Structure 1
Amino acid sequence: MAKAGAVAKIITRNLLILFLALLVVGIVIGGGELRIERNDLGKVYKFYPKNDSSLLDIVGGYFSATWKFLTDPPEVWEEGLETFVVKSFALLVLTEVFLLVIGLFLGLRAGYYRGLADKVVSALAPTFSAMPSWFIGVVFLFLFYWKLSLFPVNFEDTINWAEVHGTLSTSTYLRALVLPVLTLVFSGLWEYAFNVRNMIVNERNGDHVLYDVARGLPEGRIMRKLLRTALPAFLTFTTYNFLEILTGMMLIEVMFNIHGLGYLMAVSFWLTRIGDGFGFAYAPEILFFTTAVMMLFYFINAVVMEGLYLYLDPRSGGERQ
């Protein structure tokens, strides 16, 4: 019961954060429409605030527009908004799964056995943490597309070509996602593994581990116990690192032409020529919709990870320390 109450507190706290974040975003987007030329992408629900509109009216209008999107989604370039959400969700899930599995494996080996694995993880972590994901994407484009021609570089063109020729399948989607997923995983993997390595090193010197070693327990069993001890703290790190993954995903979608939320956000706020100069044109409802869905992704991730923390941490008595 204590842990169930703690999970309820986690959900309530993150719901409040989600609502406040959406409120701030609505204020910014609502005020911007008064100054920036509208860019209508296909059929959208228009909301033109008048000059004398109150702040509450502006924000309320965009919350209302988002609800209309959910109940009767429009189309952008003859694509339903749900397809943008699905593509981003698939990219996000694949990235998270590989990051967690490979990061835990490398970090556990580096922290427990040390040696070469420890040296590689410790050297690569600060190097790749300083590199933006788009730079790694360019390197992978050069290696795996231009030089080796192993994987496609344009997601939408690959899917469209397979659909026209009748060869579209699940493997087509997975093959088209290899480079973007590989880019996101490789850019964040070493920092993940390094954090796990540090957690394992700290736990390895604990009395309970030394006692297990003295008892002659198999290494595999000791490592599993270490992983169980370090996993809750790693889940916490994953929660707060999730926004970094979302930000990198937006750029990767544009780079590899994946019509996901990041791509939709980019084209909803666009540089355009106005007379002899330049200005901005955007579709505010779509911009708000994409932002809201990304925040929802973060909300779900935070609730799941923090909830798992309570149930996986053997030292947790229901309240998070």
Structure 2
Amino acid sequence: MRYYLRKFGFYLAALWAAVTLNFFIPRMMPGDPVSILMAKLQQRGGSVNPEARRAYELLLGTDTGEPLARQYLSYLGNMLHGDFGISVSAYPVPVSEVIATSLPWTVVLVGIATVLSVLVGTGLGMLVGWRRGTWLDALVPATTVLAAVPYFWLALVLVAVLGSALGWFPLIGGYDVDFTPGWNLDFLGSAVHHGVLPALTIVISSVGGWLLGMRNMMVSTLSEDYVLTATAKGLPNRRVMIWYAARNAALPSIAGFAISLGFVVAGSIVTEQVFSYPGIGSKLLEAVQNNDYALMQGIFLVTTVAVLGANLVVDLLYSVIDPRTRAGANA
């Protein structure tokens, strides 16, 4: 019990620190979101008098005349009530609505791509590690080269070949504009069709890292006594490979997978920009460009909670999968 209480206490402290940084860092950036919004209103013929500016400062929570400590307390109170403010870049839409409309796109795209990368990379790494020294092992450097290729370059290559030259997939967007978003087959089919190239970019770029990590752990695990004993007993190679070697070699991959799931919420900003995909990464970049404090804070908070939650889950899973970690912490 003391082990679990210590873990929960640590993650609560980490969450408080992240929330505090989430409040101060945007306010340390140069520029003023109210000035940006006032400039947009002026371009549309709106009023830019001091009274209007003061009203927008209060609305957006950027009141420069209010003490920073009071702003911080107001920020914490609003956050606990799920009120993240109004987005400047999507004015007058609330931040929670902006996140709610863009987050599912990213979670589905990056989530599925991450799961595929882990399954394919870990499976291939298990086979390559089991057959180390064969021709399969010689192919590992090719996968590491793919992992080193920049996302945007690989995305542009896929767009040029599979999208522009062959015409198999759409070049940009998350769905065909002729369809209305909803739970119908036409829209879902269009969304899947538009998501193939971004997902393929993520899978190709990520699978090499999972393959190399699993391969190295397999090679290390195969020299352990329990694997050698199982082999000496005459157990089938398939059983030794999966239940004795791969089962233990996959422990670091489980931790990495949980952390990757946490970062799924943050999206892949470069990939979403190349394909003009309507995900959370594009909204984050738009928020930074417009000094949209409220939207930046909302996205950072959701990402932070997701990453800390994923780390907490993997810590608790580790204590179940490998009891030595719990025993060492209680010692």
TM class by shorter chain equals 0.7 to 0.9
Give aligned-pair identity as a percent. Answer: 18
Using the TM superposition, give the Cα deviation of residue 285 of structure 1 relative to its aligned residue in structure 2, in angstroms. Answer: 0.4
Match of 1:130 among 148, 151, 160: 148
Q: Which residue of 1 aligns with 2:306?
A: 297
Match of 1:49 among 44, 50, 63: 63
Q: Which residue of 1 aligns with 2:254?
A: 235
Match of 1:85 among 57, 81, 103: 103
Counterparts in 2 of 1:99 and 1:71: CA distance versus 1, 3 Å: same
Q: Which residue of 2 aligns with 1:186?
A: 204
Instruction: Tell me the TM-score normalised to structure 1 length.
Output: 0.81
Q: Which residue of 1 aligns with 2:165?
A: 147
Task: Name the aligned partner's letter for residue 140 of structure 1.
Answer: L
Match of 2:278 among 250, 259, 262: 259
Using the TM superposition, give the Cα deviation of residue 262 of structure 1 relative to its aligned residue in structure 2, in angstroms. Answer: 1.0
Indicate conservation of the 8 Å contact 1:233/1:309, yes or no.
no
The answer as to 2:72 corresponding to 1:59 is: yes
Over residues 51-109 of structure 1, what are the superposed CA-to-partner deviations in whole Å (9 max), with x where a residue is unaligned?
5x433233334445545655898794879321112122212321221122111101101
Match of 1:98 among 116, 120, 134: 116
Indicate conservation of the 8 Å contact 1:232/1:308, yes or no.
no
Task: Name the aligned partner's letter for residue 247 of structure 2.
Answer: R
Over residues 109-135 of structure 1, what are the superposed CA-to-partner deviations in whole Å (9 max), with x where a residue is unaligned?
11111222222124431x234322122
CA RMSD of aligned residues (A): 3.3
Q: Which residue of 2 aligns with 1:196?
A: 214
Bigger share in strand: 1
**Separation (CA, whole Å) in 1 of partners of 2:229 and 2:185:** 58
Using the TM superposition, give the Cα deviation of residue 236 of structure 1 relative to its aligned residue in structure 2, in angstroms. Answer: 2.6
Q: Which moved more, 1:61-70 or 1:169-178?
A: 61-70
Indicate conservation of the 8 Å contact 1:88/1:260, yes or no.
yes
The answer as to 2:177 corresponding to 1:160 is: yes
Number of residue pairs aligned between Structure 1 and Structure 2: 304
Instruction: Tell me the TM-score normalised to structure 2 length.
Output: 0.79
Counterparts in 2 of 1:68 and 1:261: CA distance versus 1, 3 Å: farther
Listed as ranges, the gaps of 5+ residues in structure 2 are: 42-55
Pick the structure with greater CA Rg: 2
Q: Which residue of 2 aligns with 1:274?
A: none
Counterparts in 2 of 1:185 and 1:209: CA distance versus 1, 3 Å: same
Q: 1:269 is paired with a residue of what secondary structure?
A: helix
Q: Which residue of 2 aligns with 1:112?
A: 130
Using the TM superposition, give the Cα deviation of residue 10 of structure 1 relative to its aligned residue in structure 2, in angstroms. Answer: 3.3
Task: Name the aligned partner's letter for residue 257 of structure 1.
Answer: S
**Separation (CA, whole Å) in 2 of partners of 1:182 and 1:6:** 41
Q: 1:116 is paired with a residue of what secondary structure?
A: coil
Counterparts in 2 of 1:36 and 1:70: CA distance versus 1, 3 Å: closer
**Separation (CA, whole Å) in 2 of partners of 1:300 and 1:167:** 33
Using the TM superposition, give the Cα deviation of residue 317 of structure 1 relative to its aligned residue in structure 2, in angstroms. Answer: 4.7
Using the TM superposition, give the Cα deviation of residue 292 of structure 1 relative to its aligned residue in structure 2, in angstroms. Answer: 1.1
Using the TM superposition, give the Cα deviation of residue 306 of structure 1 relative to its aligned residue in structure 2, in angstroms. Answer: 2.6
Task: Name the aligned partner's letter for residue 256 of structure 2.
Answer: F
Counterparts in 2 of 1:130 and 1:61: CA distance versus 1, 3 Å: farther
Task: Name the aligned partner's letter for residue 298 of structure 2.
Answer: F
Indicate conservation of the 8 Å contact 1:137/1:180, yes or no.
yes
Q: 1:88 is paired with a residue of what secondary structure?
A: helix
Indicate conservation of the 8 Å contact 1:310/1:319, yes or no.
no
**Separation (CA, whole Å) in 2 of partners of 1:223 and 1:320:** 30
**Separation (CA, whole Å) in 2 of partners of 1:261 and 1:185:** 19
Over residues 227-281 of structure 1, what are the superposed CA-to-partner deviations in whole Å (9 max), with x where a residue is unaligned?
21012222233455668767771221222222222111111122xxxxxxxxxx3
